[in-house]
Each structure stands twice: as structure tokens, then as C-alpha cells.
Homo-oligomer: A and B are copies of this chain.
Amino acid sequence: MKNILLTIEYDGTNFHGWQRQPGQRTVQGEIEKVLSKLFRQEVTITATSRTDSGVHALYQKANFKGDFGIPTERIPLAANNLLSGDVRIKSAEEVDLDFHARFDAVGKKYIYIIRNASYDFTQRNFCYHIEKQLDHQSMKEAAQYLVGEQDFKSFMAAGGKVPESTVRTIYSANFTLEPIDKGRKIVFEIIGNGFLYNMVRIIVGTLVDIGLGKISASDMKEIIESCNRSRAGHTAPPQGLYLSEIYFDYAELKKSLGGVNK
């Protein structure tokens, strides 16, 4: 019996999210179909993060167990030949039998791309387009209130499975800016030990409302403390969101934090 861990990337545009659903094209469904064909047995995979419709992953992790004839290192090529172009297995490795892609993750990084510039049709599925210039300094200031172990209930959407606790730890929340087409591409990077349902999108929506002057930066503290979804801003659309890194040990996570806090 082997336990195989895959690193996967996908363009979420034409998927109904990660999770298998009858009659829908999902990332899990497509990969399981291909692996089942390849291994001539039913394969079920478990991902670290069940991303929503339209959300992308530069780096998703998923594991599955079984007895397989194909050498582990050949899995990516064999599977990619059968997968359509919008999902790709980047690598496969054998891990301990008790390793679990979801429960063993100690942290995740998401990035969210805001195109604060003129509309670009071909980028419509890959960013949140905001024409009006955002006050980036206020957004940056507000984002600092997010860091730490806190109850993030204000940033949890209804509709998901209600978790036992809504307390999460955010290790870092940073912005980088790049000039683009006479405007700016604003990249928000957030690293945490876990995220509630739609949490990153509601955080970004709130920061955008702050950047637009609808909410003041100093209100962020109060919004968090209120534990009230209606105090936070709007939910940013899925297509700007990218699952970008997953950490299975604290050393890795720390290293990444060193790189982010620039």
C-alpha cells in the first residue's frame, strides 16, 4: 500500500470548484476519473483545500492511497496526458501512510489579484477589476489588524459547514504593487493556519471598500471584534483568488514568512 501526495495546479474558470459533485465538472472529479482509468481501480483523493468555483490553484496538494503498478514519478506525465489543459499534476511523491493532505497542513498562503487599471477582457477570469484608483496605503494599514490569533467570524460566509471554532491565526497579510497598463496590479498575500468559508474573499472585499473610502482603515479592528458578518465589506469575486502555497511543517512556513515581510 502506498500513500501518494500530488502537487496540482489549475485554472478554476471552467470548474465547479474542487469538490466532486454529480453532473458537474470539478477538479477532484476530473483527477479521480483519470487516476481511476490509469490505475484500473477506483481512486479517491483528498485535497488540502476545497476551493470554490472560479478560484485558481498554483499549488494544491492532494493525497490518495492504494496499490499501484505505475512508478510514482511517472504519474504526472501519464495523468497529464489524459487531463484537459486547465489542470495539471506538477509532481507526485510517496509519503508516510498516515499522512493526510488536509489534517497535516499547518498553514496556507492565498494570493488575491486586483487589477486597479483599465478593463482587460482577457484577464476577466484572473483578477478582480477595479477601475477607480484604490487608496493602497489605507488598505495596507487595515490589513495589519488581521495579523494574529483572532476570531474571524465577521469574515465567514453563511452556507459552508459551520466549524467548531471560528478562531484562526493569520501570520501575515501584505500587499505588493506592480505598474500595469497605466494602472497597478495589486497583489494581496495572506498566510494563515486556516481560513473560514469565503474568508479571504470577504477580507479582500472589506479591504477594497476601505481602498474606495467606504469604510475607514481604523474600523478594521472593530469589524473583527464585532464577530458580525454584516459589519464587514462585500465578498470579492472568486476569479482573483489563488491558492498559492501549502505548508506541512513550521520551518517551511517560517521561511516563507521571512520572504513575505519585505
Query: Which residues of A line the B interface, CB within 8 A?
Result: 9-11, 56, 58, 85, 88, 121-124, 126, 178-181, 242
Q: Is the CB of A126 within 8 A of B121?
A: no
Contact of A123 among B85, B124, B126, B180 (CB under 8 A): B126
Residues of B within 8 A of A121 (CB): 9-11, 56, 58, 88
Chain A to chain B: the 6 pairs with minimum beta-carbon distance, closest first: A9-B121, A11-B122, A122-B126, A56-B122, A178-B180, A178-B179
B-side contacts of A180, CB under 8 Å? 178, 180
**Least CB distance, A51 to chain B, in whole angstroms:** 13
Complex Cα–Cα for A218 and B133 (A) = 44
Chain B residues positioned under 8 Å from A179 (CB to CB): 178-179
State the CA gap A123–B11 with chains docked (Å): 9
A123 to chain B: which residues have CB within 8 Å?
126
A21 to chain B, nearest CB (A): 21
Give chain B residues whose Cβ lies under 8 Å from the Cβ of A85.
Answer: 124
Q: How far is the CA of A88 from the CA of B58 in the complex (A)?
A: 28
Which residues on the B side are within 8 Å of A9 (C-beta)? 121
A124 cross-chain contacts in B, Cβ below 8 A: 11, 85
Knowing that A58-B121, A88-B121, A123-B126 are A-B contacts, what are 13 other residue pairs whose CB atoms are under 8 Å apart, sorted by A's residue number? A11-B121, A11-B122, A11-B124, A56-B122, A58-B122, A85-B124, A122-B126, A122-B242, A178-B178, A178-B180, A178-B181, A179-B179, A180-B180
Q: Chain B residues near A126 (CB, 8 Å)?
A: 122-123
- Cβ contacts under 8 Å, A58 to chain B: 121-122
Q: Which residue of B lies closest to A127 (CB)?
A: B122
Contact sample, A vs B, 20 pairs, CB 8 Å cutoff: A9-B121, A10-B121, A11-B121, A11-B122, A11-B124, A56-B121, A56-B122, A58-B121, A58-B122, A85-B124, A88-B121, A122-B126, A122-B242, A123-B126, A178-B178, A178-B179, A178-B180, A178-B181, A179-B179, A180-B180
